[in-house]
Structure 1
Amino acid sequence: MKLVFATVLLVSLVLSSSMFEISIAGPDFCGSKCSSRCSKAGRQDRCMRFCVICCGKCKCVPSGTYGNKHECPCYKDMKNSKGNPKCP
């Protein structure tokens, strides 16, 4: 009985730690994708700020430094308060 309990405990710890790593990986994904996307932008700080916001909501960033927004419809469709595209 103790062996079964110890095994179940060990398996649950391993699974919970892997789920924790997956949840931590979210911001790293957006940061790396957005830094690629904004690498040639004139105002990189502004580009990065809006890209990270859009990536956080849409869970994707189009490839390349400009265009390709068809790859991520949510990213393409986000608008700012003036009705202009929000995502770079």
Structure 2
Amino acid sequence: MALSKLVMASLLLSLFVLQLAQADYSPQSIGTFLLSKTNFSDCGSACKARCQLSSRPNLCHRACGTCCRRCSCVPPGTAGNYDKCQCYATLTTHGGRRKCP
């Protein structure tokens, strides 16, 4: 019993260390990180900036908020820049269209 708990704890710890090791914190990526990664509390302001030129701002803001909460990032600018937040770019609707504005 104690051995299985030890194995489980070491497995969880190794997964955590692996996750940290895979993070890319090069100087060039820090700028991209600051532009695209947001905290959940920043989703509102990031989506407001993203949707400011939208012809349907309420719909844009709602879709952007959903994508931001799922991905914890919003690409910079009002359109495009999907390469800055890959998760945001890959979310699609049931019809196969891009979900995130």
TM-score of the two chains, using structure 2 as the length reference? 0.61
Runs of 4+ in 1 over 6 A off after TM superposition: none
> Gaps (5+ residues) in structure 2?
1-38
CA–CA distance in structure 2, aligned partners of residues 67 and 27 of structure 1 = 21
Alignment partner, residue 22 of structure 2? none
Aligned-residue Cα RMSD (Å) equals 1.4
Q: Which has the larger radius of gyration?
A: 1
> Gaps (5+ residues) in structure 1?
1-25
Alignment partner, residue 47 of structure 2? 34
Amino acid at match of 2:42: F
CA–CA distance in structure 2, aligned partners of residues 79 and 52 of structure 1 = 14
Q: How many residues align?
A: 64
Map 1:6-45 to 2 at 5 A: 26-45=39-58
1:87 aligns with 2:100: yes
Pick from 68, 72, 88: which aligns with 1:59?
A: 72
CA–CA distance in structure 2, aligned partners of residues 50 and 31 of structure 1 = 11
